[in-house]
Amino acid sequence: MGVLGNFLNQIKQVFGSLPAAKKITFIVLFVAVVGGFALIIFLNNRPNYRILYSYISIEDLQAIKTK
């Protein structure tokens, strides 16, 4: 095993030695952080719609629509 394997084994040992309440707290916190990042990415990638034309006469609207 390489360095990564040893690191993962140490994390498993530390996590396994924690009491159940701390494990649950850690898991909930991890899910909240990952969910927060996912929400930020989702909200950042939404299109930002804005009004292009306002206070335009009906004739001008029809001219825009026909183009």
Instruction: Tell me how far apart the alpha carbons of residues 57 and 63 are, in angstroms, rounded to a whole number.
Output: 10
For the chain, the structural domain boundaries read 19-66
User: What are 24-61's pLDDT values in tens digits?
Assistant: 999 999 999 999 999 999 999 999 888 887 888 888 88
The tokens describing 46, both together, are 């939404």
pTM attached to this predicted model: 0.61
**In b/e form, how buried is each residue of 27-64, taking b as 16+ CB within 10 angstroms?**
eeeeeeeeeeeeeeeeeeeeeeeeeeeeeeeeeeeeee
Task: Report the half-sphere exposure of 17 (CA within 13 A, side-chain side).
Answer: 6
